[in-house]
Structure 1
Amino acid sequence: MLRHTRARDRHSIAHHYDISNDFYGLFLDPNMAYTCAYFLEEETDLERAQLAKFEHIARKLRLKPYQSLLDIGCGWGSFIVHACKHYGITAHGVTLSRQQANYANDWIRREGLEDQALVEYRDYRDLVGEAQYDRVSAIGIVEHVGYRNLARYFHGIQRLLKDNGLFLNHGISRAREWRPNPGSDWISDKVFPEGEPPSLSTVITQLEDTAFEVQDVEDLRAHYAKTCAEWVKRLQRNHEACLRHVDEQTYRTWILYLAMSSIYFEEGQIFLYQVLATKRMERFAPVPLTREDIYA
């Protein structure tokens, strides 16, 4: 079980995400979405699938104008920009990648969203205040939190979320019986240091232990297998361009990492779950009686 101190987490995030924004841009979609896409149809391209992912999350969160959103581990700001432009919310993002924070704020300024959105280079553990946000999203962050910190992580979100708020946790999971193996050790050493994807049962137990009520769970494993495979194809197509930003060894490392990840998702060694939760209250949760509004 890893320590996940602030210093170690900053180093691990920088190792993975601060390679080069230009390098990431050669295999991600134009919105720089580095999380599982959502393929409405088998032939949907990556760009549309990533936009569909943002829309899927926004609908699950039931976003409405003037609501406040906290996006933990916000990446390059893609969901924040989408939500502010299309739903009229205000958004606050935090990330431990300086390159991501700089990119996101430049993007926010280009879109003229300075009055609606801000991204900070900040540890989620340093967020203060009570009941500040109507909605909280955590898209691809729980893998970085660490088992020891899960209780504190969910307690912090519970504290920051308003009583009538919604929280969506989107993250990689492992099976309860998972054990380290040479492949996972290589990924931890070369690409994804300090990564500890928790099992779905651990996530749900921790949510329940911190007074959350789980409203919805969805498995997107097949979507992430396809996403990683698409990223590999794009890297291969852009081999020469990649070498202007990273060396050959780094390029090959990322090809192998993403190909392995796609296979692991296909084989059911890892999973991707979206879990929607609310604070546990006497009154009913602020969600409709059915899921029909998500798909309307």
Structure 2
Amino acid sequence: MTHTPTPTRDRALDAATRLAGQIAEALQADLSLRLWDGSVVGLGDPARGDIQLVIAGPQTLRALILRPGLATLFRLFASGALAVEGGSPLEALDRIDHGRLMHLRKRLNLWAVARTALPLLLASGDREANVPDWHDARDGEGQGHDRRRDADFIRFHYDVGNQFYGLFLDPAMIYSSAVFPHEGAGLDEAQQHKLDLICRKLNLRPGQRLLDIGCGWGGLACHAARHYGVEVHGVTLSPAQLAYGQAEVARQGLGDRVTLELVDYRDIDVEGVYDAVSQVEMFEHLGFRNHDAHFARVHRLLKPGGLYFHQASVRRGHGPADRNGAPRPTATTRTITRFIFPGGELDTLGMTTTALGRHGFEVLDVQTLREHFERTLRIWSARLYDNRERAAELAGAPRTRLWLVYFALFARGFQRGAVNVHQTVARRHRAGASGLPMDRAHLYAESAAPLSTVIK
């Protein structure tokens, strides 16, 4: 059956074409726009057509005009009303100058745009697909632990399925920034190097006890037990991660050294038991109101002089803050909370080090990994994009599309320095020497214990 376009629809297509031209003049991006009739308009002069932003119908443009913003983009990508073909969302975003994109409104003649867009607002056709918020943008915001649904938040993000995460993570299933030891290192080598770096920063020795908070799929716990001979207690709130991690502990024959549990670390009621505590990118899920309680709990769990490893993504530290000094939510952070990380709030490096000092810690070392996380995210993005059909079978097409957009946004965020990630080592204060070497040579020297070492 052949569809004959109505005059109204012809006017909508004409308006879309002219609107794309106006945007192209201001944006000068190196990619193209494909409209619902198959016509292609370059978004720059010149612009390649190998990567195309695909508009499903006038309703997509109508939604963007009436509700411009990141939340609308997320919904449209999730529903398929807006898509990228010929490359991943990250590859498309790399073709757009960030400064021009952020200041696009200032570069446009808004009256001319409004006149051009009028037929799109009047066009017939189905409205955009209704993709609901998976969480309220303010869910968990500013709330203490007793009011937050932390277990639900964690399961939403991590219980998507172990097979889904296995499509883009390394074999050890490490879902945090890798540390690339040299330019030619791949992700698998970089993640193993990161695990070893954590163990060295904690100065782990055989017979010590390590608590890994938010242990994920057990990668660090197994590495520390196998290569450093420590006894590891790992805790998570994700049943899917726990099942995988326990199976991996059994497979590696580490059941006598590694215990993984489905428990909130704040419910561990002991004092001064652990020689070391690690937290690798779990902190972002806690929320500002719970940071002091976190550091107080870690302090209580550690032995005097015990070491705490803290790896977390942070905001740059500029912009408006609330009366407690915490960064105010932005449209971007609320959109990420709504669709990707419910309950998440990113602090700043200054907030972290100040809170550590306030709760009886001595900060010994801080290392920035911003460019390492950008590279990690680019690899994750490429792997997920290459496996997007299988990912859609496992987790659904909407979630797969959103994860690709999320990787793209954060990769560019780390590239620009809008977000950062740091490894911080702190010590439960005790008078006297820290027990650590005077320099960092022990972390990187060729004489350091090789990754192949297995402590019997």
**TM-score bracket for this pair, using the shorter chain length:** over 0.9
How far off its partner does 1:5 sit?
3.1
Map Cα deviations across residues 7-50 of structure 1 (whole Å, 9 max, x no partner). Answer: 51111101110111100000000100000000112221110010
Is 1:108 matched with 2:249?
A: yes
1:47 is aligned with what amino acid? Answer: D
Structure 2, unpaired ranges of 5+: 1-140, 320-327, 446-456
How far off its partner does 1:183 sit?
2.7
Indicate which of 30, 33, 56 corresponds to 2:197. Answer: 56
Map Cα deviations across residues 49-102 of structure 1 (whole Å, 9 max, x no partner). Answer: 100110111111111111110000110000001111111111001111111111
1:224 is aligned with what amino acid? Answer: F
Judge conservation of contact 1:4–1:194 (CA < 8 Å) in 2.
no
Distance in 2 (alpha carbons) for counterparts of 1:289 and 1:239: 48
2:353 corresponding residue in structure 1: 204
1:116 is aligned with what amino acid? Answer: R
Q: Following superposition of structure 1 onto structure 2, how do residues 55-204 of structure 1 map, counting pairs within 5 Å?
A: 55-178=196-319, 179-204=328-353
- Work out which structure has the larger RCO, using CA pairs closer than 8 Å and 6 or more positions apart in sequence: 1
1:210 is aligned with what amino acid? Answer: H
Judge conservation of contact 2:145–2:290 (CA < 8 Å) in 1.
no
2:388 corresponding residue in structure 1: 239
Distance in 2 (alpha carbons) for counterparts of 1:46 and 1:144: 24
Question: Which has the larger displacement, 117-126 or 3-12?
Answer: 3-12
Judge conservation of contact 2:204–2:228 (CA < 8 Å) in 1.
yes
Judge conservation of contact 2:309–2:423 (CA < 8 Å) in 1.
yes
Is 1:228 matched with 2:369?
A: no
How far off its partner does 1:138 sit?
0.4
Identity %: 39
Count of residues in correspondence between the two structures: 296
Secondary structure, counterpart of 2:312 in structure 1: strand
Structure 1 residues 93 and 249, CA gap change in structure 2 (3 angstroms): same
Distance in 2 (alpha carbons) for counterparts of 1:158 and 1:192: 27
Is 1:258 matched with 2:258?
A: no
1:31 corresponding residue in structure 2: 172
Is 1:282 matched with 2:431?
A: yes
1:92 is aligned with what amino acid? Answer: H
2:152 corresponding residue in structure 1: 11
Distance in 2 (alpha carbons) for counterparts of 1:133 and 1:280: 14
1:2 is aligned with what amino acid? Answer: G
Judge conservation of contact 1:167–1:277 (CA < 8 Å) in 2.
yes
Judge conservation of contact 1:4–1:145 (CA < 8 Å) in 2.
no
Secondary structure, counterpart of 1:128 in structure 2: coil
How far off its partner does 1:214 sit?
0.3
Distance in 2 (alpha carbons) for counterparts of 1:181 and 1:261: 15
Distance in 1 (alpha carbons) for counterparts of 2:429 and 2:309: 15
Judge conservation of contact 1:71–1:138 (CA < 8 Å) in 2.
yes
2:142 corresponding residue in structure 1: 2
Secondary structure, counterpart of 2:336 in structure 1: helix
1:41 corresponding residue in structure 2: 182
Distance in 2 (alpha carbons) for counterparts of 1:8 and 1:187: 17
Map Cα deviations across residues 260-279 of structure 1 (whole Å, 9 max, x no partner). Answer: 11011111111101110002
1:5 is aligned with what amino acid? Answer: H
Structure 1 residues 4 and 194, CA gap change in structure 2 (3 angstroms): farther
Judge conservation of contact 1:2–1:194 (CA < 8 Å) in 2.
no
Structure 1, unpaired ranges of 5+: none
Distance in 2 (alpha carbons) for counterparts of 1:110 and 1:133: 26
Aligned alpha-carbon RMSD (Å):
1.2
Map Cα deviations across residues 141-197 of structure 1 (whole Å, 9 max, x no partner). Answer: 111121111111101111111113111101111122244333322211011111111
Between Structure 1 and Structure 2, whose CA radius of gyration is higher? 2
